């Protein structure tokens, strides 16, 4: 049997969304998590924001952002190029949506 997603080691990417440098930790996704992120998203931008919102963790593995206000902050205040770059790194490819 394989390893559970929650038991995978955290990976990290350096980021600066406009408020100074930080480290964003994340784990690989399972199929359920992929479906959750892609479900009911009407645009690539929404999928990218949702990916960062759902996957970003601190060094202990706790979610960085949890509330609708946090999601809105990502959408409206974060540097969009940096969000796309970080999500692309999380997905291990140049395609930020993971496709």
Q: What pLDDT is stored for residue 39 in this prediction?
A: 86
Three-state secondary structure string covering the chain: CCCCHHHCCCEEEEECCCCCCEEEEECCCCHHHHHHHHCCCCCHHHHHHHHHHHHCECCCCCECCCCHHHHHHHHHHCCHHHHHHHHHHHHCCCCCCCC
User: Tokens 């496709």 — which residue?
Assistant: 99
pTM here is 0.84
Residue 97 has pLDDT above 80, yes or no: no
Residue 98 has a pLDDT of 44
Residue-level pLDDT at 2: 63
How many CB atoms sit inside 10 A of residue 49's CB? 21
How is residue 44 written in tokens? Answer: 């690539």
Q: Give the pLDDT confidence of 23-79 residue by residue, as tens digits.
A: 999 998 888 888 988 886 789 999 999 999 999 999 999 999 999 999 999 999 999
Position 16 pLDDT exceeds 70 = yes
């Amino acid at each position: 049997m394989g390893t559970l997603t929650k038991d995978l080691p955290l990976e990290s990417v350096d980021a600066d969304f406009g408020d100074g440098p930080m480290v964003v930790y994340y784990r690989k996704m399972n199929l359920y998590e992929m479906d959750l992120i892609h479900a009911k998203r009407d645009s690539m931008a929404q999928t990218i924001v949702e990916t960062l919102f759902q996957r970003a963790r601190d060094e202990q593995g706790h979610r960085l952002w949890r509330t609708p206000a946090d999601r809105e902050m990502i959408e409206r205040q974060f540097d969009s190029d940096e969000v796309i770059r970080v999500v692309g790194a999380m997905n291990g490819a140049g395609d930020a949506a993971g496709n």
